[in-house]
Amino acid sequence: MKLITKNTTFRSLFLCNIFNTLGGNLFTLAFLVYTSTFPNSQFYLSLSAFLMVLPTLLNAFLGSLADWTKDKRRALFLTSWLQTVLFVLVAILIEQRTLTVFLVCVLINLLDELLTLYKSGLELPILQARLQENEIQPAFGLFQGSNSLIEIVGKPVGLALLGLLSNSFANLALINAALYFLSGLVLLESRKFLAIPILPKKFHFSVKEVLGQIAQVFKSEQNSALVLILNVLLINFALNGILALIELAMIKFNPFGHNYGFAITAFNLAFSFGVLLSSLLMKDFFRKKSLSFMLSLLGIMLAIFSVSLLKFGLLALILLFAAGYCFAKINPKLTSLVFENAPKEELAAIRGGISTFFSSASALGVLTFVALANIIGVENTFYLIAMISLITLLPILFLKVKKIY
């Protein structure tokens, strides 16, 4: 918490992150409710969900664009105010329930996500310049913790707010616009702390080069870069498959009897509170543990969770909380690795590339395991996830044995 009170640059970007995340969560919920009011709403919901996956696939490109941007401070102001204008436009259009207006709102939402990712890339070299090495993990733990808290309270608050506004989607869009405007004002107020020297560079984007840069970052962990990358991919693949399958598992294997809604809420909150608590306690026992250690520990937890959920549901609930706690240590450690080993001129591209690949693994995990659950059954799918989670331990064990001999 000292970072928030003593580091003006971090405080400004932290407040902006809260405004942006809160606004994004409120409007995403409102847009889902809005979409559900259309005839054939299932088609519109599916189309919207498909399109909103696209920004994560462009993260590395947007990172390169952020690295190329010379005046990052000015770009941050302009991006916040452009987002403000976009949601004022949404407020004007959204009450007209036509296919054209729906598509325009989806495209604005898509553009908003792209601008948010671009802003994130702009912030990275500023944070790298303004944070000490021992402040990186606590700083990104606070970012992660605030996002988790907003995820937990965002939906009920959003629904309550929508009710108070008599389901006025236009007014909620204006609230989102106001939050982006406040974000821009915060940045403007602290503009002298956001200026950093950046060498001008020619815009260039190459997937091959980004992959090579990511490999160089992971090599600093004193392990095979390929092994670490594959392990992080597999953990994301397995974890997101588990989170999606819990909804299917609770139909038949509900530890709370027939209260399906309570069961889903309990498991979601267990994971979310694990992430939140871990994000706030970045100076705990795991602070000095390596990324390899955390991946191994999380792999073991996911394996035990997968085999215990179907028969020992309450134990699985505790394990999911613990898995959330361990999972929350990984992203700050990854970011710390990037900050310590990547030049500031390529920082956003490397971080964006990592996010793109891991987000792709997460989405693939959901699609794969939900499909398998419908083919071979939920129980067998969880056993398969347990085996995949344990496979992540083998390369690390092999490397340790190799060092001994």
Residue spans per domain, the chain: 2-193, 207-404
Maximal C-alpha separation, the chain: 71
| Distance of alpha carbon 375 from alpha carbon 372, whole angstroms | 5
Angle at 131 between CA 128 and CA 134, to 5 degrees: 115
In the chain, what are the helix, strand and coil shares in percent, each to the nearest 5? 80, 0, 20
C-alpha separations of 71 from 60, 68, 201, 302 in Å: 19, 9, 12, 44
More confident residue, 378 or 40: 378
Position 404 scores a pLDDT of 54
> Under a CB-based contact definition with an 8 Å cutoff, are residues 157 and 307 in contact?
no
Q: Tell me what pLDDT residue 322 has.
A: 93
The pLDDT-based confidence of 222 (bands split at 50, 70, 90) is: low
C-alpha 34: how far from chain center: 24
Question: In percent, how much of the chain has pLDDT > 90?
Answer: 8
pLDDT of amino acid 132:
84
Q: Residue 24 — very low, low, confident or very high, per pLDDT cuts 50/70/90?
A: confident
Confidence of residue 321 (pLDDT cuts 50, 70, 90): very high
Pick the CATH number of 2-193 from 1.20.1250.20, 1.10.8.60, 3.40.1640.10, 1.10.287.990: 1.20.1250.20
pLDDT value of position 305: 92
CA–CA separation, 115 and 22 (whole Å) = 16
In sequence order, the 6+-apart residues with CB closer than 8 A to the CB of 86 are 108, 111, 112, 177
Residue 187 has pLDDT above 70, yes or no: yes
For the chain, the first-to-last Cα distance in angstroms comes to: 45
pLDDT of 214 strictly over 80: no
- Which residue from 362, 351, 342, 361 is spatially nearest to 65, judged by alpha carbons? 351
DSSP state of 133: G
What are the helix (H) ranges across 166-312? 169-189, 207-219, 225-252, 260-280, 291-308
Q: What is the pLDDT of residues 58-69, one digit of tens each?
A: 887 888 888 888
Rounded to the nearest integer, the mean pLDDT of the chain is: 81
pLDDT reading at 124 higher than 60:
yes
In the numeric block, which tokens belong to residue 54?
């696209």
| Alpha helix positions (H), 72-206 | 72-93, 99-130, 136-164, 169-189
Contact 267, 393 (CB under 8 A): no
Residue 380, H or E segment: helix 378-391
What the block records as the tokens of 166 is 């008599």
**Which fold is adopted by the domain 207-404?**
Growth Hormone; Chain: A; (1.20.1250)
Q: Is the dihedral of CA 112, 25, 121, 49 positive or negative?
A: negative
Helix-then-strand count for the chain, H and E: 17, 0
pLDDT at residue 147, rounded to an integer: 82
Give the pLDDT band (50/70/90) at residue 346: confident
- What one-letter code names the amino acid at 3? L
Q: What is the pLDDT of residue 396?
A: 61
Q: What's the rounded Cα separation, in Å, for the pair 391 and 341?
A: 28
Q: Percentage of residues in the chain with pLDDT exceeding 70?
A: 87
Distance CA 58, CA 45 (A): 22
What residues contact 393, with CB distance under 8 A and at least 6 apart? 296, 299, 300
Most confident region among 141-145, 175-179, 245-249 by mean pLDDT: 175-179
Burial of 250 (0-12, 13-18, 19+ CB in 10 A): buried
Q: Which two tokens stand for residue 210?
A: 């980004």
